[in-house]
Chain A
Amino acid sequence: MSSVRRHAFIECDADTVWQFISKMDNLHEWFPVVSTKVEGSKRWITLASGITFEEDILLVDHDLRRYQYSIVPNAIIKSHLATVDVIPDGDSRCIIVYSTDMDPEVLALPIGGAAGEGISRLIEKFGRKQ
């Protein structure tokens, strides 16, 4: 099991960022995947390589501005937990934290890298420090 974390400050209020990323079916609009499909608490994401992951959406907490999801174990992935937090830092700034716990451990690195790219896209969308 390994754990990686990416985070960044976004020059935008936490509610606006949270409303965008908490829509479970729009992951492809900010995360480097090509498509997202949601049915109830299940989500399927497809990567550019053609790989599709089935995920369980475990938590969407609008009060905490936190959601958690898990890739359903498959031939490669034994366990996975992703936690995304949007934490206010005043009225017009927030910090987004994306954490991944993963087995096999090495896959945490490309997933962390993808999360880093996703966060960069959020910064582009919602604003960076002037």
Chain B
Amino acid sequence: MGRKILFITTDQQRYDSLRCNGGTIARTPTIDALAARGINYDRARPQNVVCMPSRSTIITGQHVTTHGVWMNGVPLPEDAPSIAETLHDAGYATALIGKAHFEPLLDPFLRFRENRLGFERVTEPTSTHRGFDHLEFATHGAAGPLHYSQWIRNEHPEHVGSFYAVLDNELQVNASGGGDTNAPQVKMNPIPREWYHTDWVAEHTINWLNSLPEDRDWFCWMSFPDPHHPWDPPQSEVSRVNWRDLDLPEGYIADTAERERIIDGKLRHLRGWYDGTFVSNYEAPSRWVPASLTADQVREVNALVHVENELIDEAIARVLKAVDDRGWTNDLDVVFTTDHGEFQGDFGLLFKGPYHLESLMRLPLIWSPAPSAKMQPARVQTPVGLVSLAATFAHIAGVERPEYTEAARLPANDGESASLGHERVFTEWDSVLFGKIVRLRTISRGNFVCTAALDGTMSRRGEGELYDLANDPLQHVNLWDDPRYQATRDDLLDDLWLNMPVAREPVRAVDAPV
């Protein structure tokens, strides 16, 4: 028998949401324990700050320019490389339970297999999908064709309307508010906790694990849709965190003039979005103006996110107990991360988009190796990317690193980083939506993060952002045009243009908004 792999992802979770990363509100003892006995990465970065491109990087081990899912709505081809396929070929049982999102969700033609599998209620197709034997999909509510939505509609139809409606009547991301503060994408959800998607994902993961023979090696991607908006956790749990008791986040700038001065120091499309004049993507409500966000709305959204994160932690605990009950703990590797971050009030903003700031770029990433591997706990400061996950899973399974992967496995400590080539991490953004174009290329290296704009609707090549995270962790000062940092900037840019993979042609078309 080899090592088993439980790969846990959340959606849109901040680095500082966990107690082990300095969080002070949500209680996350299960994840904290994984970090304490494992390797906790302090500067884990996504290769793109929205779901489909980032998740495509995770499964392929490739940068965005290589796998070609350059924005939400561009499907990852079914024959794209997949670490699940590699592990399946090595004899692993494989499952993906929860949110996949390698293919567009919003598609009434059912052109994509994720939607078709859900619509047809198939969990074990005759041929694997992306290398997974078993698939049960969920997203952020009861709408759509995926398995969780079908389950709610079948088993608990009275709760179909309990969730926040993610889209409005014009299929735009819903801007309507709720809760005590009328915050966008907030709703009190009367669904019982055990029927909410977090617990559903955990329960179905346990069911799949219990279906396996004891001597089978397995790779399970357990993918929670939360804490991504909408913020509508079960109402029974909301009292865990009273929003009125919360301090505002460190990244929230209360003084409007000061906030806007800092925003004006960044690439111009951020101010355009803040003012509601430049909506370049489908990741936030187009009819919501970020400048209208109040401090109390920030508090209420944060409280609900903390509740959702606690529910995730408790769900993970149940799955780990089920694994332990099967006698697998000694050979179990657990990897926990998310696909991208969330503003949650930083700079007076919510949601995400084409902004390569730490709110969206600094991710929780924990690798808790199997006790049988006898690896030492560590805290890794070197920047690493989600692009390294595929090679890490191969390494755990004792499989040679697949040729299709573009990054080495995660380092077990900072001492390993250089020998494995973990010097820099790239993050890309491209969006073209009804004539509005944003293109960014970012390098994270050492304490610096440097973003170069390419030609777009509001930016031109030659513009950008440079931050010294050691001295300015909240990113208030853009050093791009500071003469004292010109050499640093130019060196980072040389590194970026020299080492970032070149985009493949032709560029694939956008087939859906998300």
Contacts and interface: CB of A to CB of B under 8 A. Distances in A.
Contact of B111 (A2, A6, A78, A113): A113
Contacts of A3: 434
Given A47-B108, A49-B119, A113 B512 contact: yes
Contact of A6 (B106, B110, B171, B509): B509
Q: For chain B, what secondary structure do more than half of its interface residues adopt (helix, strand, loop), or is it mixed?
A: loop
A73 interface: no
B509 A51 contact: no
Nearest to B73: A109
Given A2-B434, A49-B145, A76-B171, A106 B108 contact: no
A106 B109 contact: no
A116 B509 contact: yes
B471 interface: no
B127 to A, nearest CB: 19
Interface in A103-129: 104-107, 109-110, 112-114, 116-117
Contacts of B259: none
Interface residues of B, number: 22
A33 B170 CA distance: 23
B287 to A, nearest CB: 12
Contacts of A112: 509-511
Contacts of A64: none
Interface in A38-86: 47-49, 51, 75-76, 78
Contacts of A110: 104, 106-109, 511-513
Interface residues of A, number: 23
Nearest to B119: A49
B513 A109 contact: yes
Nearest to A53: B108
A32 interface: yes
Contacts of B509: 6, 112-113, 116
Contacts of A76: 169, 171
A117 B73 CA distance: 14
Given A2-B434, A106-B282, A117-B111, 7 more contacts: A3-B434, A47-B110, A48-B111, A49-B145, A75-B169, A105-B434, A113-B107
7 contacts: A3-B434, A47-B109, A48-B110, A49-B119, A109-B511, A110-B106, A114-B109
